Structure 1
C-alpha cells in the first residue's frame, strides 16, 4: 500500500492484518485484490443464502455510546453461555464496530455476567489501563495514548470504553469488578519497529528488584545487556551467540518467577506477580517474533515469508487470551475484540496476503482448538466506506455483498442454523470473501470460520480524541 494510506513499517511490525489506515488520507489505491469469490459462486446458491439471511436477520439498535445499549436482548440469547465472545472489526479506525463493541460489552456485563474485555493492544502497556479501570489514578486521555498501542489511544470510542468500565467499578453496588486487558504483543507502535518492546523486560526486572533482589540478581544481570537492544532492529544486529544468550536469559527470568512464586507473592500481591511474570512471557513472545521475521527494515509490500511473523504474533495473542481466561477464573466471561482476521477460525489468505508462501494460523484457530464451543466468533461486515475512508473496490467481499443484498442496514445473523439448511449449507462451505482493511479481502469458508456475523451498511471514521 502507499505510505500515505498505511503507516511506514506496517508490514513486519504491526503485522499485516493490523495495518493502520490514516483516516485523513484519500488517494488512489494500488493494492491488488484477488478475484472476488462471488464471481465463482453459482448465482442460485447465493440467492438462496440471501433469501435465508433476509428471513433470519435480527435487527440491532443504534449504538452511539456505551450508555445506548437498549434493544440487545436477542443478541444476549445468541451469546447464550459462551465463556469467550470474540468480536471482530473489519478494519482499524472505523466508528461503527467500536461503538457497537462498547454497547455490547455493557450489555454483557450488566445482563450476562461478563467480567472482562481483552482487546488487540499491547499486554504490558495495558496494566496501567487495567489499574485505571479498577479505580486507580491517572488522566484517561494520557493513559490511553500511552497504554493503547498502534495509536489506538487516539480513538474516542476507546476512551469512552475505559471511562464506562471505571464508572461501573467504582459503584459499590457492583461486587465483582470488571477487568481490562490488552492481549497483543507488547511494545508495538505505528513505525512497526517495536521500539518499545523493552517494556516487557524492564517491568519484570523492576518487580524482581523490588521483591527479591538477591534471588533474582543472576537473572537480572543476564538480561541487562539486552535492554537497550530489545527491538526488531536491535535483535537483527545481534550476533548468533548473542541471540542464544538473550534466549537463555529470558528463560532464566521466567524460571526465577516460577521457582520463587510463593516468596514473590508474599512480598507483593498475586496480581502484581501475575502481571510481572506475564511480562517475562511477553518478552519470550517478542523474541520469537524477532527470530522468525525477515531481516532488514520493514517495508510496505508483503513478502512470501512474512507469514511466519503473522503466525508467531497470533499464537502469542491466543496464549495471552488463555492467560486472561485463567485470571478471570471459572465464573469469568470475556469479550475479546480484535481484527476479523485474528478472531476467525480461519487462516489468513487471499487479497494482499495471496503472496504468502503459506497461510498462517490465526488466533481464532488456536482458541477454537483450546475452547471449543465455549468460544463464539462474531466478525463484523461492512457494506461500504463513508466519507473520510478509502473507497472500497467494486465487487470485493462476497459475504459482505450477500449481506448487503438483504436490503437491511444493520443486523445480526446467526449462521449456525444454516449449516443444517440444505438450501444454503452448500454456499456456506464454499470459499467466500470478507472485506478487510477497507480495501482488500480475506478468503474463508463462513461455515467454519464464524458463528455469527454483524453487518453495517456503511462504515465511517472513528472519532479522534482532541485531548492532551
Structure 2
C-alpha cells in the first residue's frame, strides 16, 4: 500500500499539477481547509506565478468580496490608489491583513508595470478578482453600491426613457444602509428588511436594469470598453443577488439557512463563470466552496447541505474546471496535532516530503474500496479532507506542518 501511495506523489509545481488533469482547465481551483495561514497563501502565490510565467494564466480569483476586489484590480492594472489603501479597502473577511496577500498584490503590480515602466498591453496584464458576494457571516451588505453603479452606467449610455426608474427613486427605496446591514437579522428574521414593500420594488427594478443591460449589449459594447461592460454585469449580478439574499434572510421556514448558504455559493458560481469567460484563472477559496460534492455545515438549528460553487461551475464547465484540494498534517498552534495513522492525512503524513502534490484518482485506486477513516478535527477552523470524496478531486496539495504565521 505504501509503495502505491508513494507512486502518486509529485512536486508542488504548476506543471506537475496540470499534468494530472485530462485537459487544460479554464478554472484551476485550489482549495484550502482553513483560512488565515500564510503558509498556504505563500504556496498559492508560488503556483500562480508559475501559472503566469509558464502557462499563460492572467487572473487570480479569491474568496473575497467581488465589489471590493475591484479596488485591487484597479491597483494592479493601472496603479490607482496606494498599496496601504488597497490592502485596507480591497479585501473582505480580514484578508487584507495577510502578508502573503500583500506580497501577491505587490508582485502583480510589478509584473504589470514591467522593468521598462511602460506597462504591459491590456491583453497581457494580470487581473485580480474577488468572487464572493458582499457577505459576512453576521450580515449582508446593502445593495446600494451595486444598484446605483449599474443605474449610473446605463443612464450615461442609453435613452432616458428606457430606464425603469431614476437614481432618486432607487435612493428613496434603499433608505439608510444600516437597515440592510443590521447584524441581528441573521439570527432574527423579523429584523430583516428583505421582504419589505421597498425591497420587493427594488428586486423588480434590479431585474429590469439587468434586462436592459442585456438588451442594449450591442450598443454598449460599441460605445464602451468590454471591461466597463463586464463591471456593469458584475453590478447587476451583485445587486440582484444581494436583494435575493436579503429576501430570504427574512424567511422563517426551516430551510432558511440552507437557502442562504446555497444563495451565497450560487453568487460565487456566477462570478466564477464570468471570470472563466475572460480566460484561464487560478481560483483560491475554502475547499468547501470549490469541491464537486455537496457542502455541509452544522448550524444552530441543525445540519444544512447545499451545492457548492465548485459543484455548480463543474456541472457547466466539465473538464474546463479542475479542483485541487489542500490537506494538512499539523497546525499545532491551533491544537491540530499529528494525524492518526488510520486517516487519509495520517497516511500522507508518513510520506517523507514536507509538501507535495498527490494524484488523487491514483491514490483512490491505490486505496481501493477500503478508505481511511475521516479525520476528526479538534479545532472548528480546520476541515479535514473526506476520503469518500477522492474520486471527485483532481489532486491534493499536502502540507505536513503549518507553522504559525
Coarse TM-score class (shorter-chain normalised): 0.7 to 0.9
Q: How does 1:256-275 map to 2 (within 5 A)?
A: 256-275=212-231
| CA–CA distance in structure 2, aligned partners of residues 184 and 155 of structure 1 | 18
Pick from 48, 56, 63 the counterpart of residue 113 of structure 1: 56
Q: Contact conserved, 2:146 with 2:238, CA < 8 A, in 1?
A: yes
Asked whether the equivalents of residues 431 and 445 of structure 1 are also in contact (C-alpha less than 8 Å), the reply is no
CA distance in 2, matches of 1:437, 1:209: 48
Paired residues, number: 386
Query: Which of these residues, 52, 60, 85, is aligned with residue 142 of structure 1?
Result: 85
Distance change in 2, residues 1:283/1:56 (3 Å): same
Which of 367, 388, 399 does residue 313 from structure 2 map onto? 367
Matched, 1:77 2:77: no
TM-score, normalised with respect to structure 1: 0.73
- Would the aligned equivalents of 1:87 and 1:335 in 2 still touch at CA under 8 Å? yes
> How many Å apart are 1:461 and its aligned residue?
4.1
Separation in 1 of the partners of 2:133 and 2:120?
Answer: 35
Task: Provide TM-score, normalisation by structure 2.
Answer: 0.84
Aligned partners of 1:346 and 1:361 also within 8 Å: yes
Query: Do residues 385 (structure 1) and 385 (structure 2) align?
Result: no
Give the aligned partner of residue 291 of structure 2.
344
Cα distance in 1 for partners of 2:6, 2:247 equals 48
SS at match of 1:218: coil
Partner of 1:414: 359
Please name the residue that 1:4 is paired with.
none
Distance 1:151 1:295, change over 3 A: farther
Structure 1 residues 457 and 136: CA distance shift in structure 2, 3 A: same
Residue number in structure 2 paired with 1:38 = none
- Per the alignment, residue 154 of structure 2 pairs with 208
1:251 CA displacement: 0.6
Contact 1:349 1:443 in 2 (8 A): no
Residue number in structure 2 paired with 1:458: 401
Question: How far is 1:405 from its partner?
Answer: 2.8
Contact 1:377 1:451 in 2 (8 A): yes
State the alpha-carbon separation in 2 of the partners of residues 431 and 224 from structure 1: 55
1:254 pairs with 200, 210, 214, which one? 210
- Aligned equivalents of 2:86, 2:238: Cα separation in 1: 20
CA distance in structure 1 between the partners assigned to 2:106 and 2:52 by the alignment = 15
TM-align CA RMSD: 3.1
Q: Secondary structure at the match of 2:129?
A: strand
Q: Which residue of 2 aligns with 1:54?
A: 6
| 194-203 vs 445-454, greater mean Cα deviation | 194-203
2:188 corresponds to: none
Aligned-pair CA distance for 1:447? 2.7
Cα distance in 2 for residues equivalent to 1:102 and 1:58 = 18
Q: CA separation in 1, counterparts of 2:102 and 2:54?
A: 22
Q: How does 1:232-311 map to 2 (within 5 A)?
A: 232-233=181-182, 236-237=192-193, 240-293=196-249, 305-311=256-262
Cα shift readout 1:128-182 (whole Å, capped 9, x = no counterpart): 2112111332112211221111111111211211121122222257762221111
Distance 2:238 2:11 in 1: 40
